[in-house]
Amino acid sequence: MNTREFSVLDRLIGEFDKAIKVLAAPAHANRPPPSAVGGELVLDAAEAKASARLMRVNHAGEVSAQALYQGQALTARDPQVASAMREAAAEEMDHLAWCEGRLQELNGRTSVLNPVWYLGSFAIGALAGTLGDKASLGFVAETEKQVEAHLRSHLDRLPAADRRSRAIVNQMTHDEAGHGAQATSLGGGELPLPLRAAMRLTSRLMTSSSYWL
């Protein structure tokens, strides 16, 4: 049986379809959202507002993660690396759905800048892939390291009473650490210090903007 060769146009249409699904369609998780240990507590208005803003930032981060992984999978040279990127994207979709669901529960909204984050992250991911699989995997490892630190900071900032959001962020932190470890095990190398610093600066721009917008 002949395997169909997809044209550049076919692949671009496929990527556009994925973008629409991330940005405009309800996200669907393969895993149920983590349960709040000790049960849920009622949040006051100020607590709910604070949690919604932080979960909006996390949702925007997951939108970016989808784009980043898809861009890297598109340009990866090793089929094993491309497969690992798509598997990570599938697990990140759980995070996207969890954050989206929690925002609805908190009467919050997603960031109006999500299309910007998706487009920018896809371009960065595709560029990283063209630099070679070692560089691409190193980029993933560093990204996940920074995301893990960011999520841990949110555990410090989320209201203590918001056990549900805290359970979601805690599981996300665990998953991100696993993605970073996998990228390193597949051959990801450490990125130069200036590039790591630029990534942190970009991350701060995204998180600070999404917190308000």
- pTM of structure: 0.85
Task: Note whether residue 107 is domain-resident.
Answer: yes
Per-residue pLDDT, 197: 78
pLDDT in tens, the chain (213 residues): 444 555 555 666 766 667 776 776 678 888 888 887 766 777 899 999 999 999 999 999 889 888 888 887 777 777 877 777 777 777 788 999 999 999 999 999 999 999 998 888 888 888 877 877 787 788 888 888 888 888 999 999 999 999 999 999 999 999 888 888 888 887 777 777 777 777 777 778 888 888 888
In a domain, 118, yes or no: yes
Q: Which domain holds residue 123?
A: 44-212
| Residue 191 belongs to domain with CATH number | 1.20.1260.10
How much is the pLDDT for 10? 60
Report pLDDT for 5.
58
Residue 6 lies in a domain: no
**Predicted local confidence at residue 57, as pLDDT:** 93
**Integer distance in angstroms from the first to the last C-alpha of the chain?**
50
In this structure, is residue 153 part of a structural domain?
yes
For every residue of the chain, DSSP letters joined together read: -PPPPPPHHHHHHHHHHHHHHHHHSPP--SSPPPPPTT------HHHHHHHHHHHHHHHHHHHHHHHHHHHHHHH-SSHHHHHHHHHHHHHHHHHHHHHHHHHHHTT----TTHHHHHHHHHHHHHHHHHT-HHHHHHHHHHHHHHHHHHHHHHHHHS-TT-HHHHHHHHHHHHHHHHHHHHHHHTTPPPPPHHHHHHHHHHHHHHHHHHHH-
- Total number of domains constituting the chain: 1
